[in-house]
Amino acid sequence: MPWILLLLVSLFSVSANAVSLPAAVVGASTTQKSETPPAEPDADKKKAAYAALADVLENEASRKALIEQLRQAAATPADQPTPVIKPPVNNEEDKTVLENVTEVTRHYGGEFAGRFAQLHRNITNAPHKPFNEKTFFNALSHFSLLAVSVFLFYFAVRACAIPLYRKMGQWGRRKNIHRASWVQLPLMIILAFLIDLALLALTLFVGQLAIEMMNAGSRTIARQQGLFLNAFALIEFFKAILRLMFSPRFPSLRPFVISDASARYWHLRLSGLSSLIGYGLLVAVPIISAQVNVQVGALANVIIMLTMTAWALYLIFHNKRAITAGLTRLADRSLAFFSLFIRAFALIWHWLASAYFIVLFFFSLFDPGNSLKTMMGASLKTLAIVSVAAFICGVFTRWLSKTITLSPPVQRNYPELQKRLNGWLSVSLKLARFLTVCVAVMLLLNAWGLFDFWTWLTVGAGEKAVDILIRISLIVFFSAVGWTLLASLIESRLASDIHGRPMPSARTRTLLTLFRNALAVIISTITIMIVLSEIGVNIAPLLAGAGALGLAVSFGSQTLVKDIITGIFIQFENGMNTGDLVTIGPLTGTVERMSIRSVGVRQDTGAYHIIPWSSITTFANFVRGIGSFVANYDVDRFEETEKANRALRAAVDELMEQEDIRMLVIGEPNVVGIVGLTNTAFTIRVTFTTQPLKQWTVRFALDGMVKKHFDLAGIRPPVQTVQVMQPMPDAAAAAEAQAAAGGALPPANPTV
């Protein structure tokens, strides 16, 4: 054991890419000759040695070189010195992308050409086998007898099940009329498929018994009959799937909306295509190769597959437009999520189908025994994966249209909780649907041998990715739960009094709203930092950068800091709240929004102003306890004073008798009387104290009432007088005007 440790410690001790194996050997020899054992290497050296050994073993060329040197060292006689083990040198140079592509192309091109060469040798140079006519026809008779017996039995048992299929379909369709009974029809379709498989299993059992009785004691005939039975099982299983999809004889059991003619058309042709492939490759070709010779069998394989491929391509492109139109109509009837995939599939389905049969053709040429099995297995896996994934995605999509409805007491106490839960549920379902699609894609690649999903999932990057994904999901989940609980508690405190609870003050509502927004920013920031840390991002530079940026911002944005501090003090002093009518400088409007930096004010004209806190030196708030107004009315100077005061008093009294106005007035109005006198009018005054923001309502009602009573009393408003001053005409200007008129001025003192 010590010399092994020394070997690992000394491995790659000089550099990361070089192995100092001679030093290891020397160390080992020294250990054997020396009386004192060497010191135990530390953990860092062991780890470095392990990593270096892994690098050597990872490279195929260096691994082979190391194994060869070790075998030579092990085979060295005891009387000879231990040979020096040199580290394997990697002479490979880094290749460019073009060189790698060229190498891969050359490799697979050679493999492809070699396959064709092998096929040519099988057809031309295979050893000939003498044809025995008696043996051939004897085997053919027993084979035909078994095939006819199996087909007759299978068709007979399926004919007995026809009334059952018909009744099952009618019952399922009758139940499917009601929306509450939608599950009966799918159950009947699945049950019919299972019965079909059970009848197939019964037929295979009977066929196996028939083989034991009809093989004429020949193992060759029994093996050929077994080939037929295996092909029969595979082909009829595929036909059972076709009957499940198209159901040509029982439209009531058809899961898709398709016409009877189309169902019969595709069922007949796809069944014929599968029979040609299955019985041709699995039965005809092996029997011909065994009974005749290999050349004829290989040639028959080529002819069968070429016929199959040509027929398949003809069906694909002959029905391209009809199938594309059908897929488009299906996309129009489907949900939005499935509609996208169906439309994309409608554009490329014919290329995928053509590639499928072309690949099957080449596989059958190169590997006739396993090609059909491989392709059918991959096809069934694909069908199962797509069906399960579509079902799961359909369930998620259906759930997206549903919502969580909380009880009325919970909605009263937590007004935004239901909306927030439905939002989280929608996001979770969409994410789950996306992950389902990703897993389905990887499983499809695994089914066709393009990606080893299970190895990826359990070893290396896949395992790490899944672990990271689970941790991120838990982090986001707990963050969402925490934010939902805290936000719901704050919103519960902000709920109005229409449900029997006291309404919080405007100041409380404003501060709680600001706290909720700040809490959202804090939780989001912490969650993002933790997620970045989980995926491997070093957040230390981010935190340091954020600190440096904050310091730079604090020096470069003093105005912003002033805005924040001023806003905080205004809030703590309860200067204004959302919904207050304020005057800030020359602007008068309603506060609509308050942030940590500014306040948003809406004027009665509709203009919206954003005012930084630091620019506010003084402001007036009209919503602080009471509202008041002073009403002045001008009356003609020659009207009687008492008459005008009586009319004003009568207007005020009638106004106060209105219940909707009386509830807005605090206390009693004060009729002051004459407060001003001019040469044309005198002014009388009345003052009101009202609820906040109700002074204009009372003032408008008072103006209408005063107009009414002044008209009834015949009180005139002041008469507006205008004094016009006409200047004397200038003599020179008058003379010029007279001269222009063609006359002279009259004498100043005319005489007779």
Whether 731 contacts 662, CB under 8 Å: no
User: pLDDT, tens digit, for every residue of 107-155?
Assistant: 656 666 666 666 666 666 655 556 566 776 777 788 888 889 999 999 9
Mean pLDDT of 249-269: 85
For 112, other C-beta atoms within 10 Å of its C-beta total 12
pLDDT of residue 203 exceeding 90, the answer is: yes
More confident residue, 319 or 541: 319
Helix/strand/coil percent split, the chain, to 5: 70, 10, 25
Name the DSSP letter for residue 77.
Answer: -
More confident residue, 440 or 282: 440
SS3 (DSSP) at 343: helix
For 681, other C-beta atoms within 10 Å of its C-beta total 19
Contacts of 2 by beta carbon, 8 Å cutoff, 6+ apart: 31, 37, 38
Structure tokens at 603: 């004027």
What sign results for the dihedral spanned by CA atoms 174, 178, 181, 183? positive
CA dihedral 563, 565, 571, 573 (to 10 degrees): -120
Which pLDDT score is estimated for 533? Answer: 74
User: pLDDT, tens digit, for every residue of 487-500?
Assistant: 777 777 666 544 45
For 396, other C-beta atoms within 10 Å of its C-beta total 18
Nearest-angstrom CA–CA distance, 10 and 24: 5
**Amino acid, single-letter form, for residue 447:** A
Range with the largest mean pLDDT of 62-76, 272-286, 323-337, 524-538: 272-286
**Amino acid, single-letter form, for residue 715:** I
User: pLDDT, tens digit, for every residue of 327-365?
Assistant: 888 778 777 777 888 888 888 888 888 888 888 777 777
Confidence of residue 427 (pLDDT cuts 50, 70, 90): confident
pLDDT of residue 12 exceeding 50, the answer is: no
Structure tokens at 239: 């036909």
pLDDT of residue 367 exceeding 80, the answer is: no
CA 699 to chain centre: 58
Name the DSSP letter for residue 282.
Answer: I
Closest CA to 25 of 82, 99, 108: 82
Nearest-angstrom CA–CA distance, 663 and 436: 64
SS3 (DSSP) at 687: strand
Q: What is the pLDDT of the chain when averaged over all its residues?
A: 75
Nearest-angstrom CA–CA distance, 67 and 79: 22
Nearest-angstrom CA–CA distance, 205 and 207: 5
Name the DSSP letter for residue 181.
Answer: G
Which pLDDT score is estimated for 24? Answer: 37
Q: Which residues of 140-170 are buried (b: 16+ CB within 10 A; e: fewer)?
A: eebbeebbeebeebbeeebeeeeeebeebbe
DSSP string, 419-461: HHHHHHHHHHHHHHHHHHHHHHHHHHHHHTTS--HHHHHHSTH
Which pLDDT score is estimated for 496? Answer: 54
pLDDT of residue 664 exceeding 80, the answer is: yes
Judged by average pLDDT, the poorest of 494-498, 667-671, 735-739 is 494-498
What sign results for the dihedral spanned by CA atoms 371, 372, 375, 381? negative
Which pLDDT score is estimated for 677? Answer: 85
Terminal-residue alpha carbon distance, the chain: 162
Mean pLDDT of 162-183: 79
Contacts of 469 by beta carbon, 8 Å cutoff, 6+ apart: none
Nearest-angstrom CA–CA distance, 324 and 319: 8
Return the percentage of the chain with pLDDT > 70, whole number: 70
Structure tokens at 618: 């003084």
Q: What is the side-by-side order of every strand in the sheet holding 608-612?
A: 608-612, 598-603, 587-594, 581-584, 619-621
Q: State the angle between helix axes of 294-318 and 260-279 in degrees (0 to 180), rounded to the nearest 10.
A: 160
Confidence of residue 194 (pLDDT cuts 50, 70, 90): very high
Confidence of residue 157 (pLDDT cuts 50, 70, 90): very high
Which pLDDT score is estimated for 498? Answer: 47
Burial (CB count <10 Å: 0-12, 13-18, 19+), residue 178: exposed
CA dihedral 36, 41, 46, 52 (to 10 degrees): -70
pLDDT of residue 591 exceeding 60, the answer is: yes
Return the percentage of the chain with pLDDT > 90, whole number: 3
Q: What are the DSSP E strand ranges found in 166-264? A: none
Which pLDDT score is estimated for 199? Answer: 93
pLDDT of residue 1 exceeding 60, the answer is: no
Q: Which residues pair with 665 in a beta bridge?
A: 690
pLDDT of residue 299 exceeding 70, the answer is: yes
Mean pLDDT of 155-184: 82
Which pLDDT score is estimated for 14? Answer: 32
How many residues can be counted in the chain?
752
Q: How far is CA 534 from CA 147, 255, 307, 479, in A?
A: 63, 46, 57, 15
The overall pTM is greater than 0.75:
no
Judged by average pLDDT, the poorest of 59-73, 271-285, 596-610 is 59-73
